[in-house]
Amino acid sequence: MNEILNRSLCKTYANFFPIGAAVCPKVIKSHRELLLKHFNTVSCENHMKFINIHPEEKKWDFSPADEIVDFAVANRMKVRGHTLIWHNQVPNWVFLDNKGNEVNRDVLLDRMEEHITIMMQRYKKQVYCWDVVNEAAEDKGADIFRQSKWYKIIGPDFIERAFEFARKADPDAILFYNDYNCTAPEKSKKIYNIAKRLKDHGNLIDGIGMQGHWNIYNPSFDRIMDTIDLFSSLGLKIQITELDMSMYLFEDATKEFKQPTDEMIWLQQERFEGIFKIFRDYRDIITGVTFWGVADDYTWLDNFPVKGRKDWPLLFDIQHKPKKAFASVVNFD
């Protein structure tokens, strides 16, 4: 068992796909040893998002993102760009004029193009792929598109325009549409339709990012495979972009557990083993797997969806030691 637990995650999967982690400037220091041993790609957890990097119209703050990219380049790691256009974490100025009134379509398109162009050209040859548009599909109901300000001001073609600007800014970058709840049948069809529009509009898209914010109970392995089959039928590659395995159902608001139970640990191990078998089976389609975090001591799930509740969703524990789930992922024939 010690030999198994000492394996490198990314080296074990070298013949399958890169293994990544979402990081911030603090994490590249506090989790440096784990990152260098087990991961060969990184994503900026928050520091490439609009509100952090472009908080005011004439103000840009690249420093935290630069620190992460420089760390990756120095250690021969790939970088995923996350994310250019999203409904969340966007400063209000983007949608308003100097009188506080909502801007029109042309102004917002100009601002979108400027933001995408500056971002992508700054990190050209360092960031190999981008989540161009993030979470634009509506979860439920008849509407395909989330009623975001991007959508309401520009219209449904805001997605195509974003991808057009991205393709122009860096023709060599691999362009992804990224979303969560991809395995829900109702939403997977909407994501498929968005991707098909982009493909039909001059092959603007290269792949779909499936956020893997899953838990120890669902989605089923069959739903994961069905979704990969659906998206790849468009001729697109898939990346698992935000993988973590919560110990709780999303609707479970309990805060009673101070540590995971034996059953939780076993279920998480079983789930990680099963999904990585699927990923290996789809090695010709899946071109990357990125965890949303490195170890259980630092995870966004400690505050979402239940604020202040501890969760243990990753392969390394709070002491940065490999868990049983890690062994199940790296020990295969």
Which contiguous run of DSSP H or E holds residue 166? helix 158-169
- 3-state class (DSSP) for residue 272: helix
CA atoms within 13 A on the CB side of 300: 15
CB 150 within 8 A of CB 85: yes
As a whole number of angstroms, the longest Cα–Cα distance in the chain is: 65
Determine what percent of the chain falls in helix, strand and coil, rounding each to the nearest 5.
40, 20, 40
Q: What is the spatial distance between Cα 6 and Cα 8, in angstroms, rounded to a whole number?
A: 7
Q: Give the residue numbers annotated as catalytic, written as ranges.
A: 135, 242
Residues forming beta bridges with residue 85, ordered by sequence position: 133
- 3-state class (DSSP) for residue 47: coil
Phi, psi of 162 (to 5 degrees): -60, -45
Tell me the one-letter amino acid at 82.
Answer: H
Tell me the one-letter amino acid at 252.
Answer: D
What are the C-alpha distances in Å from 163 to residues 146, 177, 294? 17, 9, 30
Q: What is the spatial distance between Cα 269 and Cα 266, in angstroms, rounded to a whole number?
A: 5
Place of tokens 């805060």: 255
Q: What is the spatial distance between Cα 37 and Cα 11, in angstroms, rounded to a whole number?
A: 9
Q: What is the spatial distance between Cα 215 and Cα 219, in angstroms, rounded to a whole number?
A: 8
CB 95 within 8 A of CB 115: no
